Amino acid sequence: MNRLQVRKVSVTYRKKTGLKPVSLEATGGEIVGLIGADGAGKSSLMHAIAGAKSFDGEIKFDNHIYSSPKEAEKVKGSIGLMPQGLGLILYEQLSVNEHLDFFADIRGIRQDSAFKTYRERLLHMAGLSDFTERQAGKLSGGMMQKLALICTLLHRPKLLLLDEPTTGVDPLSRMELWDILNDIIAKEKTLCIVSTAYMAEATKMDRVFLFEDGEIIDKGKAGELIEKVRPFSYEAAPEPFEKSITIHGYTYSLKPLKLKPKEPTLDAVFFINFIKKYGPIPEISIVHKDRDEDVPATIMEAKGLTKRFGEFVANDHIDMELNRGEILGLLGANGAGKTTFIKMLLGLLPIDDGELFLLGERIKSSDDRQILKAKIGYVSQHFALYKGMSVRENLRYFANMHHIESERISGLIREYANTLGFYRYLDVLPTDLPMGINQRFSVAAAIMHEPVVLFLDEPTSGVDVVARAVFWEMLQRLKDEWNIAILITTHYMSEAEFCDRVVLLRDGKKITDDTVKNLYQIHPDAHNFEDIFLDYYNSN
């Protein structure tokens, strides 16, 4: 039996703690899920088990005990690690076949007929049989990830460590990845440890460990975990109760409330844990601003917007409209063209074809944008913050950049910090703060000059469940109070629920553009947005 025992393993990066001491056990044939946001410690644990990172504590696998990467050498032959990142372990310049040869050689596999059959089977399962001569750099994100998976499976590892294999992958490829996995585990009795940021995938795992802040906050079967929090989940209360959280149509409370119970999801575990640890979420409000009523109803209009990179068409004749007082979600897998589109809107990339109207003005040159800059707010992927400056200094810098009068700046920073709940972090460096806080103050930096439209590029990736929920609440209020238009991209399909209207991109093309309500009406069988998108992906 392949048995893995992790005993009090902790990981530190220079001064920072990546993982507080955790212990777990698992056996072959099992899929064990590690669920949590970026930086919660999932990757640290995987790297430690794979012997790719020094750690404290002890790991036992396959009757070998090791407590350092060096001692782990003897088990590396039977471990397969697929690190986080789309096709991270692939070499852009090598073809699919060359990859399989390379991995077979460095794993010292005898290339006999049994191996060749196995190799063919893997290629077939991954749907790559027809692409064996194609270079990895020219594969789609989903195909790259499938190739990375079969490269990791090539030496028939007894322990498979997959770090966020499905993040940023389109829904169809994601399903296929799970199919390959289930198939292999059933046949080879592999022990598989998978981490994910998607709560919905927990149902595909035998057991899950929920990670937050480098700790395991709960573990067990997904059903059991939900059972545990069922007594604390209610339909949203109209009025806030003491020591409770009301968010996304739910109210969570440790004390029994006279409310109708509501079927919880795994998210509830994180909220309940938050209440236990910190109490209710501090109230967030929005700085008051007089509504700009002379702003046109259509903030942005794109007609046939196209962007090419050489042969590759990143955006193929995309039509889109963004209206005042609307949250528009731009969804799609990695490489679908979301960021390219936003960059064209902002003038960070030249437009190859099509017309763009911002606030009713046709944009032809960068001069046309100059006047509009004051009315646009932008939060980039990974937040463009200066790491060497404190939160306050960052905000002051952005305020100056937007020509806010200097005597107003200090007051404004205080106001925004108070309302958005990061006042006590004002003099801390962004690198020492949790992602959720950075995310909120990036938004503050983008809205201090009171724009009428806000562009957000994947602001929620890597942010934990609670902070993400708070963030969506904040956007909702911002929309309500300021009547601002918001365009937001995300690869969490579940977040589509919080948008007013959704545009789905696939391979640079717009597949659908409709309100959330309408989409549910068109797809009556869908349980959630994942299902709706799968319908669109399958129909093509």
Among 40, 42, 47, 328, binds another protein (CB under 8 A): 47
Q: How far is the CB of 151 from another protein (least distance, A)?
A: 9
By beta-carbon proximity to another protein, the closer residue of 19 and 322 is 19
Which one of the spans 82-90, 185-193, 241-249, 438-446 is the region binding another protein (CB under 8 A)?
82-90
Q: How far is the CB of 85 from another protein (least distance, A)?
A: 5
Distance CA 26, CA 79 (A): 14
Taking each continuous run of H as one helix and of E as one strand, the counts in the chain are 16, 23
- Would you tell me the crossing angle of helices 465-482 and 435-447 to the nearest 10 degrees? 20
Q: How far is the CB of 60 from another protein (least distance, A)?
A: 18
Beta-sheet pairing, 3-13 with 56-61: antiparallel
**CB contact at 8 A, 521 and 358:** no
Report residue 137: phi and psi, to 5°: -65, -20
Q: Is 310 a binder of another protein (CB under 8 A)?
A: no
Q: How far is the CB of 524 from another protein (least distance, A)?
A: 43
CA-based end-to-end distance of the chain: 43
Among 20, 107, 402, 414, binds another protein (CB under 8 A): 107
Q: Is 98 a binder of another protein (CB under 8 A)?
A: yes
DSSP string, 411-448: HHHHHHHHHHT-GGGTTS-GGGS-HHHHHHHHHHHHHT
Among 16, 23, 73, 360, binds another protein (CB under 8 A): 73
Q: Is 83 a binder of another protein (CB under 8 A)?
A: yes
For residues 86-125, b (16+ Cβ closer than 10 Å) or e, as one string? bbebbeeeebbeebbeebbeeeebeeeeeeeebbeebbeb
Q: Indicate the helix (H) or strand (E) that contains 320.
A: strand 312-323
Q: Is 103 a binder of another protein (CB under 8 A)?
A: yes
Q: How far is the CB of 83 from another protein (least distance, A)?
A: 5
Residues in binding contact with another protein, number by CB under 8 A: 32
Which one of the spans 69-77, 235-243, 441-449, 473-481 is the region binding another protein (CB under 8 A)?
69-77
Among 102, 115, 357, 397, binds another protein (CB under 8 A): 102
Q: Is 360 a binder of another protein (CB under 8 A)?
A: no
Reading the block at residue 30, the tokens are 């099992």
Q: How far is the CB of 122 from another protein (least distance, A)?
A: 17
Residues within the interface to another protein (CB under 8 A): 47, 50-54, 69-70, 73, 76-77, 79-81, 83, 85, 88-94, 98, 101-103, 105-108, 135
